[in-house]
């Protein structure tokens, strides 16, 4: 094991897959000599050359379309969207083309495409550079969505996504780039579609993904001081969604909190809560609680940004409420 930064784990995955498979290419704004907006791809063009690590114009619709075409013709492109907010400019290419070709043409077509998306708030970048937009792709049949919470899973899930024959939207929380974690030496993959119970408990199940997993673990530690044992489930991927693992935890605990960084209305937590109701109704001892961002654009002001986005304290309060009052 080596302890490395989350961002370096992603870089390792990219370098190892470029080395392993000559069909892997990287595309995006400033991903070559500059190393990407968050320096995740720093030094890669020097190792693999400008033919395989290509800067693109400031045109997400254009270069994501190029990547879809490249995937259809046998390459395995990995596209970096500078900020996830900008992926809205490529919705047609992803939702109407990449997501549909396998369904429309069966074995005649595959789209082994990965779209990397630095997402989320916490840096005071404001309403158009701080969003968590995974809900749009979570709701689109034909797309897979991965959202790792640790350096270990960032590397393993990215390698799995690159090797997958379907398009994968890969969510990277900007606040996780500087977090360190243990990563195995050598090649490994983390399978898409398998959640993990990262903390055992019996009083309340907290379901989370990406940065909210760390916040859920902090909440669980705080709850333990009040004799509440919280179980924390890291979803890892949203599509495929491993509801079987969630169901087992909720049936054991009888209570559930679902946390996400995106907006509360119409979000990931809303869908998971609905599925918990459908699967676990007879086991529930309390209403399901959702913890998510307020339904407002993400503010630039640091105090307002903190007020609008979820954290461990809100997760803890939600869990404590349903344990003590029901």
Mean pLDDT of 4-18: 98
For residues 37 and 80, what is the distance between their CA atoms, to the nearest angstrom? 10
For residues 307 and 324, what is the distance between their CA atoms, to the nearest angstrom? 25
Active-site residue, 60 included = yes
Mean pLDDT of 240-262: 98
What pLDDT, on a 0 to 100 scale, did the predictor assign at position 181? 97
CA of 136: how far to CAs of 27, 128, 321, in Å? 22, 16, 30
**Residue 159 and residue 9 in contact, taking contact as beta carbons nearer than 8 Å:** no
What pLDDT, on a 0 to 100 scale, did the predictor assign at position 44? 98
**Residue 250 and residue 224 in contact, taking contact as beta carbons nearer than 8 Å:** no
Confidence of residue 34 (pLDDT cuts 50, 70, 90): very high
What pLDDT, on a 0 to 100 scale, did the predictor assign at position 148? 98
Mean pLDDT of 212-220: 98
**Residue 298 and residue 127 in contact, taking contact as beta carbons nearer than 8 Å:** yes
Domain coordinates in residue numbering, the chain? 2-183, 196-324
Token code pair at residue 278: 């459908």
What pLDDT, on a 0 to 100 scale, did the predictor assign at position 107? 87
The CATH class of 196-324 is alpha beta
- Check 129, 134, 152, 231 and give the catalytic one: 129
Q: E strands within 106-166?
A: 114-119, 144-146
| Residue that the structure tokens 């599509």 belong to | 239
Mean pLDDT of 164-171: 98
CA of 245: how far to CAs of 21, 112, 232, in Å? 33, 27, 11
- Helix or strand or coil: residue 21? coil
For residues 248 and 76, what is the distance between their CA atoms, to the nearest angstrom? 36
CA of 217: how far to CAs of 42, 84, 209, 293, 313, in Å? 31, 25, 11, 18, 11
**CATH hierarchy code of domain 2-183:** 3.40.50.970
Mean pLDDT of 284-288: 98
* 196-324 shares the fold of 2-183: yes
What pLDDT, on a 0 to 100 scale, did the predictor assign at position 118? 98
Token code pair at residue 200: 């055992």
Cα dihedral 202, 205, 211, 217, rounded to 10, equals -20
Closest CA to 232 of 311, 323, 85, 245: 245
∠ Cα 136 138 140 (to 5°):
75
In this structure, what DSSP letter does residue 81 have? P
Q: Give yes or no for residue 245 having a pLDDT over 90.
A: yes
Mean pLDDT of 264-273: 98
Q: Give yes or no for residue 238 having a pLDDT over 90.
A: yes
Q: Give yes or no for residue 278 having a pLDDT over 90.
A: yes
* Element (DSSP H or E) covering residue 26: strand 24-28
Mean pLDDT of 295-312: 97
Residues paired with 70 in a beta bridge: none
Cβ contacts of residue 138 below 8 Å, gap of 6+?
A: 145, 238, 239, 268, 271
What pLDDT, on a 0 to 100 scale, did the predictor assign at position 142? 97
- Check 60, 260, 261, 305 and give the catalytic one: 60
Active-site residue, 152 included = no
């Amino acid at each position: 094991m080596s302890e490395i930064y989350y961002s370096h784990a992603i870089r390792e995955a990219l370098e190892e897959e470029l080395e392993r498979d000559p069909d892997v290419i990287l595309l995006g704004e400033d991903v070559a000599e500059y190393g990407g907006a968050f320096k995740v791809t720093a030094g890669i063009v020097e190792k693999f050359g400008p033919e395989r690590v290509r800067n693109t114009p400031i045109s997400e619709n254009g270069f994501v379309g190029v990547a879809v075409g490249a995937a259809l013709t046998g390459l395995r492109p990995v596209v970096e969207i500078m900020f996830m907010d900008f992926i809205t400019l490529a919705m047609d290419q992803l939702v109407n083309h990449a997501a549909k070709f396998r369904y429309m043409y069966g074995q005649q077509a595959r789209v082994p495409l990965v779209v990397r998306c630095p997402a989320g708030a916490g840096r005071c970048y404001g309403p158009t550079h701080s969003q968590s937009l995974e809900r749009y792709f979570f709701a689109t049949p034909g797309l897979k969505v991965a959202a790792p919470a640790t350096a270990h899973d960032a590397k393993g899930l990215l390698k799995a996504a690159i090797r997958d024959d379907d398009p994968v939207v890969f969510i990277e929380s900007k606040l996780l780039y500087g977090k360190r974690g243990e990563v195995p030496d050598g090649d490994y993959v983390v399978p898409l579609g398998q959640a993990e119970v990262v903390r055992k408990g019996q009083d309340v199940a907290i379901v989370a993904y990406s940065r909210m997993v760390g916040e859920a673990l902090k909440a669980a530690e705080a709850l333990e001081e009040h004799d509440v044992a919280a179980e924390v489930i890291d979803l890892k991927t949203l599509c495929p969604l491993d509801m079987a693992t969630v169901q087992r935890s909720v049936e054991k605990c009888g209570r559930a909190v679902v946390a996400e960084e995106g907006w509360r209305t119409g979000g990931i937590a809303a869908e998971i809560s609905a599925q918990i109701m459908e699967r676990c109704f007879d086991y529930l001892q309390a209403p399901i609680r959702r913890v998510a961002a307020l339904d407002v654009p993400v503010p630039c002001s640091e105090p307002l940004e903190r007020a609008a986005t979820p954290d461990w304290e809100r997760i803890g309060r939600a869990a404590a409420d349903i344990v003590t009052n029901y």
